[in-house]
């Protein structure tokens, strides 16, 4: 084993993930990364709606949209406490 490989193995022994460290997840279900194509005006407006975050703006729009008869368009899954 070369010296650089030994040093790398020694460095990995320290640090790393800790239980319950970091920001808690905002959603209880997994989030998927997708690519969408939107007009510039939509992106600007959704980014403002999400207070600077395009993804939050899209989520807020979906969560606050109603059908023509006034019922929510999206029904989120029930909240489950971990």
Q: What is the pLDDT of residues 44-79, one digit of tens each?
A: 999 999 999 999 999 999 989 988 888 888 877 676
β-pair partners for 72: 66
Give Cα 65 distance to the centre of its chain. Answer: 20
DSSP class of residue 30 equals P
Q: Give the pLDDT confidence score for residue 20 in this predicted structure.
A: 80
Q: Give the pLDDT confidence score for residue 54 in this predicted structure.
A: 96
Residue 10 confidence (pLDDT) above 70: no
Name the token pair of 45.
Answer: 């407006």
Q: Averaging pLDDT over each range in 6-10, 24-28, 43-47, 70-74, which range is the top one?
A: 43-47
Q: Give pTM, 2 decimals.
A: 0.60
Name the token pair of 10.
Answer: 């020694």
Long-range Cβ contact pairs of 39-47 (< 8 A, separation 24 or more): none
């Amino acid at each position: 084993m070369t010296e650089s490989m030994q040093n790398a193995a020694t460095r990995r022994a320290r640090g790393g993930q800790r239980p319950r460290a970091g920001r808690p997840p905002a959603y209880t279900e997994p989030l998927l990364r997708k690519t969408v194509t939107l007009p510039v005006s939509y992106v600007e407006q959704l980014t403002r709606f999400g207070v600077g975050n395009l993804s939050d703006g899209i989520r807020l729009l979906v969560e606050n949209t109603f059908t023509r008869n006034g019922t929510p368009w999206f029904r989120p899954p029930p909240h489950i406490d971990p």
